[in-house]
Structure 1
Amino acid sequence: MPSTVVILGTGGTIAGTASNPADNVGYTAAQRGVAELVAAVPRLGEAPLELEQVAQVDSKDMDYPTWQRLAQRVGLHLARPEVCGIVITHGTDTMEETAWFLQRVLAPGKPVVLTGAMRPSTALQADGPQNLLDATVVAREPGACGVVVVFGGAVHSAHDVRKVHTYRIDAFSSGDAGPIARIEEGRLRRHRLWPIGSALGLARIGFDPASWPRVEVISGHAGSGAALVDALLASGVHGLIVAAPGNGSLHKALEPALRRAVAGGVPVWRCTRCAGGNLVGVNDETLPAAPTPSPWQARIDLMLSLLGTPG
């Protein structure tokens, strides 16, 4: 039976430090390496682990080269028969984006678990150690698969997870779908199926990241107009996602500009800016509803759909 968990470090708040242990916001992210994080949780040493520092960034600064490198390292380790699962330590700001990117590219048959923290490692109530321990529980769970986020004792599918709070340690939610499972004293209680899907494959992202399509998210709001769309088109944008109010409604001054974009060869997908819910009854072939409810997921989907495979 595979028994090794590979922990890949990328930085984030979980690796952050502050000079004052009572300071939960004035810290510097990505200061401690993954080996130091693991050493702070003695129970992690009770089963086989391998550690690798893939990046050391504040996740607000996550970029395409890091995504490419991370996906390649995850793919390499997943192919090893002795590896049962992978844990990725990651900042919370863009964790849901990285999770969806990895799910779409890899759709792994083994668990790939992202986790992090809302408090730096120096905090009086640091949440990173428990989240890291819980993540390894999921990475070793028989039958687990797909990309998930483990945070605050809950296991969220990459498809549904959202960061919903700026400060609380239970900062993530799966909305209407609810979590896949919860972790209670080192044991997993599952509520629904693990995420599955068709992998686009690493070849899809084999190009130089500098050449990946540029897809931007714009917001629909009171007083929306054409100026931002026109400026983005003039700058050479390759695709647009509209985070529209309500059920995907478009301002009368914004909609013509979006249709001009599509007529000029720039695809436009619409999502809702609402925290929950899917678009219902949007049947516009020119400005269609995105396949995923989140504008940030949709941006990744459109970018990947515009990417070709290397020749």
Structure 2
Amino acid sequence: MLSRLFQRSLFVAVTCSAVFAQAADKLPNVVILATGGTIAGTGATSTTTVGYTAAKVGVDRLIEAVPELKQIANVSGEQTFQIASENMTNENWLTLAKRVNVLLKQSNVDGIVITHGTDTIEETAYFLNLTVKSRKPVVIVGSMRPSTAISADGPINLYNAVAVAGSADSVNRGVLVAMNDEILGARDVTKTNTMLANTFRSPELGDLGYIVSGKPKFYRATTRKHTADTEFDISKLDKLPAVDIAYGSANANTIAIDAFAAAGDEGIVYAGTGDGSLSTPVRARLTELRQKGFFILRSSRVGNGPTVRGGENDDDKTDFVVSDTLSPQKARILLMLALTRTHDTKKIQDMFYTY
């Protein structure tokens, strides 16, 4: 009798294991690359949402904190960096992009999630949008509250990001940001508030969709080229051309511009007032630098709308490039990558209308 019960129990156990194994085989395989940030941060108390320490919690603990992930994907994790995102460097970007490209070539990887600090999440997203060579989903996620806070937003954001990265609907949509139940495109997303959970927006051109009950719902797609369709190859690069941003204002002078030029920058992005307008001394100095071989790009500090070629400056005469609708921080990224391909300003300008 006991033998029969044992055999039946063993049969049930083996059958259940086989069913679970079969179910796991049908789940997408998602790799989480952790880089630090608030999502991995800790505070002194459960009500500390400002003044916490970022980048303290490792990737294994992040995954363990969301056991529901096992229901939607086969998840594995790697600790790529452990930094606050204001410390993200060009070299970090190159390392991250190369690792993403290696992983996405593997047949047993269906998507990538990158945990990241929110301060520069939009820049990393756009860099990857231009340098990832795969149509598989890449989703960047962070949080506005540390892991120790009441109502920490990190766990649900991570769950949603894995759901998006594992979905076939996310294929060939470029690099995505998943925050606050929203799906945003890397090119247009920006941080709009210093502390609120709904800080990430694409103010003019709109979000791409929502995450509803763990499933992505897309309503639109970007028309600009990205990922597998870009011309940028970082596989053999160990550094990027030096490009910095000078900020325009009333009473604008050339002190920052002069410092960047003296430091050896190849390009300067000028975040001008209005439609990228330039004060008289700034225009004169930037024109002089262009004649000396520096690459000058006009952008705007406004945050919305295009910087129009020929609008506030005779860009054909001065041989400047304009950023179109890219923010200064994203224009810097595209200019750096553009300079790895060409020094022809007309071709560079075309890139700003393409990507």
Q: TM-score, normalised by structure 1?
A: 0.93
Picking from 45, 48, 64, the partner of 2:70 is 45
Higher share of residues assigned helix: 2
State the Cα distance separating 1:307 from its structure 2 match: 2.3
**1:69-84 equivalence runs, <5 A:** 69-84=95-110
Q: RMSD between aligned alpha carbons?
A: 1.8
Distance 1:160 1:124 in 2: 30
Distance 1:123 1:196 in 2: 39
Q: State whether residues 98 and 234 of structure 2, in contact with CA within 8 Å, keep that contact through their aligned partners in structure 1.
A: no
Q: State whether residues 306 and 323 of structure 2, in contact with CA within 8 Å, keep that contact through their aligned partners in structure 1.
A: no
- Alignment of 1:14 onto 2:39: yes
Counterpart secondary structure, 1:36:
helix
Picking from 182, 207, 218, the partner of 2:237 is 207
Distance 2:263 2:103 in 1: 39
Match of 2:336 in 1: 303
Match of 1:271 in 2: 299
**1:219-298 equivalence runs, <5 A:** 219-282=247-310, 284-285=315-316, 286-298=319-331
Larger displacement relative to structure 2 (108-117 or 287-296): 287-296
Q: In the TM superposition, what whole-angstrom CA distance separates every residue of 1:81-104 from its partner, at most 9, and x where no partner exists?
A: 222111000000000000011111
Distance 2:31 2:334 in 1: 27
Aligned residue type for 1:284: D
Q: In the TM superposition, what whole-angstrom CA distance separates every residue of 1:5-37 from its partner, at most 9, and x where no partner exists?
A: 111100000000012111101211000111101
- Alignment of 1:108 onto 2:171: no
Match of 2:188 in 1: 160
Distance 2:145 2:267 in 1: 36
Match of 2:121 in 1: 95
State the Cα distance separating 1:290 from its structure 2 match: 1.9
Match of 2:19 in 1: none
Q: In the TM superposition, what whole-angstrom CA distance separates every residue of 1:31-83 from its partner, at most 9, and x where no partner exists?
A: 01111011111110223112111111110101122211111110011111222
| CA 22–2 in structure 1, closer or farther in 2 if over 3 Å, else same | closer
Percentage of matched positions with identical amino acids: 40
- Alignment of 1:130 onto 2:156: yes
Distance 1:228 1:272 in 2: 16
When Rg is computed on C-alpha atoms for both structures, the one with the higher figure is 2
Q: State whether residues 269 and 332 of structure 2, in contact with CA within 8 Å, keep that contact through their aligned partners in structure 1.
A: yes
- Unaligned 5+ segments in structure 1 are none
Q: State whether residues 4 and 85 of structure 1, in contact with CA within 8 Å, keep that contact through their aligned partners in structure 2.
A: yes
Aligned residue type for 2:330: Q
Match of 2:84 in 1: 58
Larger displacement relative to structure 2 (279-288 or 83-92): 279-288
State the Cα distance separating 1:214 from its structure 2 match: 1.1
RCO higher in structure (CA 8 A, sep ≥6)? 1
Q: State whether residues 40 and 129 of structure 1, in contact with CA within 8 Å, keep that contact through their aligned partners in structure 2.
A: yes
Distance 1:17 1:275 in 2: 31
Picking from 28, 31, 42, the partner of 1:3 is 28
- Alignment of 1:34 onto 2:59: yes
When the two structures are aligned, how many residues end up with a matched partner? Answer: 306
Q: State whether residues 27 and 74 of structure 2, in contact with CA within 8 Å, keep that contact through their aligned partners in structure 1.
A: no
Q: TM-score, normalised by structure 2?
A: 0.82
Larger displacement relative to structure 2 (186-195 or 132-141): 186-195
State the Cα distance separating 1:253 from its structure 2 match: 1.6
Aligned residue type for 1:293: L
| CA 101–2 in structure 1, closer or farther in 2 if over 3 Å, else same | farther
Q: State whether residues 2 and 84 of structure 1, in contact with CA within 8 Å, keep that contact through their aligned partners in structure 2.
A: no
Q: State whether residues 245 and 273 of structure 1, in contact with CA within 8 Å, keep that contact through their aligned partners in structure 2.
A: yes
